[in-house]
Structure formats: structure tokens, C-alpha cells
Structure 1
Amino acid sequence: MKQLKDVMTPDVVVINPNSTIAEAAQQMRDGDFGLLPVGEDDRMIGAISDRDIVVRAVAEGLAGSTSVRDVMTQGIRWCYEDQSIDEAATLMSEHQIRRLPIINRDKRLVGIVALGDLAAHKAAIGPAADALAEISEPS
């Protein structure tokens, strides 16, 4: 059974909560990703997604100088790198998550898994499709 460490994207960029949303958007653009874990004092305290920037900042008329802390999602879900693809797909489905931070057993961030990462592996096509269907349903 494949584990998340086999399908995750390693080398995750982490942003400081005092950075601006303009800086976050630039990092997302330059790195071609849609989620940045937010780290403070060597701890993951949340995450900011491209959707957070659009819905919580731009749509509300906030400036690019707004801090990441003001629009980030707190209390994010995550999985361990040695958990199965099925476990991640189930969690993503239950909580309508498109991107999931992955940590090691020392609670250090080691990667990100997106729905596309799951779908790219034949063993995960069923769970990833189920997760996508659940996430795509209106809440």
C-alpha cells in the first residue's frame, strides 16, 4: 500500500504570518502552487490558499499589504507521511480539502499532497475521485 511520502510534493515553502498577502500571492505564482503553510516559531499555525486571498481579502477590498495572519485558515488538517493514500483521501473528502500538509512523526512539515497527486497514482484513483466528488459538492 502506497504511503503519502510516496506521492507528496516535498520541499514545501512556508510563509511567515506577518508577511503580506501580496508576498504570498507572488510566492504562489512563482512556485506554481495554491497553498502556503504558515509557520511561526517553528510551528505550523495555519495555511493560506489562493482562495483565501481571493475570498477573504480581494473580495472584501483589503489591500495587498494585509498580513497573511489576517486571512489565513487556522486549525488546518494534516496527515503523517507514513499514512496511506486512502486515509488522506478520506480526510480530504470529509473536510472538503484540496491540498493537505504532510508531516513526519517528529511533527515537522515534509510535504503537501493535492488531489492531483492522489489521482496520478492508479491505486488512488478511486479514493481521489471520491474525494473530488465530495469536495466539489456545495457545503
Structure 2
Amino acid sequence: MKVAEIMTTDVFLTAPTRTIREAAETMQRMDVGSLPVGDGDRLVGMVTDRDIAIRAVARGMGAETPVREVMTQDIRYCYEDEDVDSVARNMADLEVRRLPVVNRDKRLVGFVSLADFAHCGDEESSEELLKGVAKPH
């Protein structure tokens, strides 16, 4: 099974110049915990609800802080034509619950998450990923 078969394709990018308030409002509206950050058609980062809480609010930054100041720039991703087994192992090793999915031109085409794996029918991949991301810290 390929990642393209289980990924979510309804993805909204936010710009690095948007405020963390706007990013949080978008997360609330879309009921998601993270947003890819795009500059034009390039994926330049990710911002999560945790980034906003820990990197901004906990440090006293205001709601008008640009996303670029709190986003994660070191982006991990997978390709849409990769096998789910391989991606699950990679996500478990990285201890991440979601990954952006790009095509071979490195354009964002979707997201794959722990929930996608849990519902894909590949119990082995799902279990491996869960064990990787659920490690105690």
C-alpha cells in the first residue's frame, strides 16, 4: 500500500508572515494541531499548537508574532509513492505523529498521520508507528 492511498489531501498552508493568532484560528476552524508553512509553492516549515504555546506564549510573545518566529524549519516529509511500511518505520524512528506528503517535484500534496495509519488496515505498520510515537520521555 502506498502513502497516497491513506493520506489526507485536504491541506491548508499558512504563510510565514501570518500571525500566530491567524494560525491558531485556522487550526481551530480546521480542527487540526499543525499547519504546513509555505512561501509561494515551497514548504518552508511547520507550525503546531505546541509551537505556539511553548515557543510563543510561554516566552511572552504576543498574538501578532509572525509564524516564522515560532515555526519548525527542519521539515521531515515523505513521498506519496512510498510504501506505508517504510513511512511508518521512519515516523516511529523520528517519533512524529504526522508528516507532510510531497510528490517527486517536492510539492505538498497531503499529510499522513497516526490516525491515517490506524484506519488503513495495515495493523503491523500502525502498531509499529504507535510504539514509536508513544515512547515515554
Provide the TM-score with structure 1 as the length reference.
Answer: 0.93
Q: Which amino acid aligns with 1:53?
A: I
Question: Is the 1:35–1:99 contact (alpha carbons within 8 Å) kept by the matching residues of 2?
Answer: no
Provide the TM-score with structure 2 as the length reference.
Answer: 0.94
Q: Which amino acid aligns with 2:101?
A: I
SS in 1 for 2:35: strand
Superposition deviation, residue 96 in structure 1: 1.1
Q: Closer, same or farther in 2 for the Cα pair 1:44/1:115, shift >3 Å? A: same
SS in 2 for 1:122: coil
Superposition deviation, residue 41 in structure 1: 3.1
* Residues 31-110 of structure 1: pairs in structure 2 closer than 5 A: 31-110=30-109
Select between 54-63 and 21-30 the one with higher mean Cα deviation: 54-63
1:27-80 C-alpha deviation (Å, 9 max, x unpaired): 011011111111113210111111111111122221111110010011111011
Structure 1 Cα separation of the partners of residues 48 and 86 of structure 2: 22
Structure 2 Cα separation of the partners of residues 51 and 93 of structure 1: 19
Equivalent in the alignment of 2:25: 26
Q: Closer, same or farther in 2 for the Cα pair 1:113/1:17, shift >3 Å? A: same
Structure 2 stretches of 5 or more lacking a match?
A: none
How many equivalent pairs are there? 137
* Residues 3-14 of structure 1: pairs in structure 2 closer than 5 A: 3-14=2-13
Superposition deviation, residue 133 in structure 1: 1.9
SS in 2 for 1:45: strand
Equivalent in the alignment of 1:132: 130
CA RMSD of aligned residues (A): 1.2
Structure 2 Cα separation of the partners of residues 18 and 128 of structure 1: 36
Large movers: runs of 4+ above 3 Å:
none
